[in-house]
Amino acid sequence: MIAFTDVQKSFGALKVLNHVSLEVFQGQVVSLIGRSGSGKSTALRCVNGLEKIDAGTLTVCGRALHEPGVDLRGLRKDVGIVFQSYNLFPHLTVAQNVMLAPRKVLKCCPREAVDIASDALARVGLSDKLDYYPEQLSGGQQQRVAIARSLAMRPRLILFDEVTSALDPELTGEVLRAIEKLAADGMTMLLVTHEMAFARSVSDQVVFMHHGKVWERGSPDILTTPATPELQQFVGSGL
């Protein structure tokens, strides 16, 4: 589903991705961990075409993002992304927020869009909130609406960029449980997270990034028995 091969990305003189190679296979949940500035979120944004790589190759859902003229519109039908900010339209109901992309992008008829929204909201435990407005919801519920909005596009892959960083522990738990359910349903996911217990419980693979490089990777066991001093220090710091 995702293949980084020797990918490089710089912002001016700052090299953010330094010869990164990693793969995500269908049905896998892969967590990117590391300190701020290690390149995690930039890697995620490259997968969705929000950033263009400078060198190397990046293939996502069969599309070569390193080649000119890539179909970004088509890519974003296959690849959903959920950010830490919910970005819901305050003047639209929950159902209307979720239906918007299927209506505008997939050209679904109103009845089909309603069915898609109802199904997506059921998958994140919000079937009873269709007619609510975002301001009537908690932060955790708004984030679950954002996840449902991504699901409504029926993506092959979903990216999560620190989706719980703005939430308190109780609300974080409800969002993580929604993501765990998606993992159990077989959704392919690439997550940037600082929730180590969550990464340990839900991931097929954990990738520790450091100084723009894939420093260590493996099963979630690497969080218990790190092979490098850098990961040992990171895990020991409680970050």
Query: Does the pLDDT of residue 1 top 60, yes or no?
Result: yes
DSSP for 32-85, written as a single string: EE--TTSSHHHHHHHHTTSS--SEEEEEETTEETTSTT--HHHHHHHEEEE-SS
Compute the average pLDDT of residues 32-44.
Answer: 94
Other C-beta atoms within 10 Å of 82: how many? 25
The pLDDT of residue 238: 57
Query: Does the pLDDT of residue 69 top 70, yes or no?
Result: yes
pLDDT band at 203 (very low <50, low <70, confident <90, very high): very high
Question: Taking the alpha carbons of 166, 183, 96, 45 in that order, is the dihedral positive or negative?
Answer: positive
Contacts with 214 (C-beta within 8 Å, 6 or more apart), sequence order: 20, 21, 22, 207, 208
pLDDT band at 29 (very low <50, low <70, confident <90, very high): very high
The pLDDT of residue 144: 94
DSSP state letter for 27: T
Compute the average pLDDT of residues 14-19.
Answer: 96
The pLDDT of residue 239: 47
The pLDDT of residue 232: 95
DSSP state letter for 179: H
Query: Does the pLDDT of residue 133 top 70, yes or no?
Result: yes
The pLDDT of residue 236: 85
Rounded CA-CA distance 87/203 in Å is: 26
The pLDDT of residue 120: 95
Condensed to tens digits (0 to 9), the pLDDT of residues 100-118 reads: 999 988 899 999 999 999 9
Cβ neighbourhood burial of 166 (10 Å; 0-12, 13-18, 19+): middle
The pLDDT of residue 106: 86
Q: For the chain, list the domains and their CATH numbers.
A: 2-236 (3.40.50.300)
Condensed to tens digits (0 to 9), the pLDDT of residues 139-154 reads: 999 999 999 999 999 9
Q: What's the whole-model pTM score?
A: 0.92
Rounded CA-CA distance 29/220 in Å is: 11
